[in-house]
Amino acid sequence: MKVWDTNEPFVYEVESSKPGKRYKVWLLRNHGAGMCDCPYHGYRCQGAIYRNEPKLTPATACKHVLAASRHLLVSILEDQAKHQ
């Protein structure tokens, strides 16, 4: 699943399973639980977020939020490793 950086910090575009479609992910929204403009996030994840279920789990994050989170983690680790 491809992830693209945008001009906004902690905002990404993530490849959809529909060819040519991308979803937008805001990792800092929902107090760090993230937000995505895919239908699944709106229908399934927002309720779990409101119930305060753990962040970045399959209940509260769609696969696009999880992919963007992995992308950010890897970029942080690679950056940190340069300074070891």
Footprint of Zn ion (CB under 5 A):
23, 36, 38, 41, 62, 64
Q: How far does the chain reach from its first CA to its final CA, in angstroms?
A: 29
| DSSP string for residues in 27-41 | TTTGGGT-EESSHHI
Cβ atoms of 1 and 67 closer than 8 Å: yes
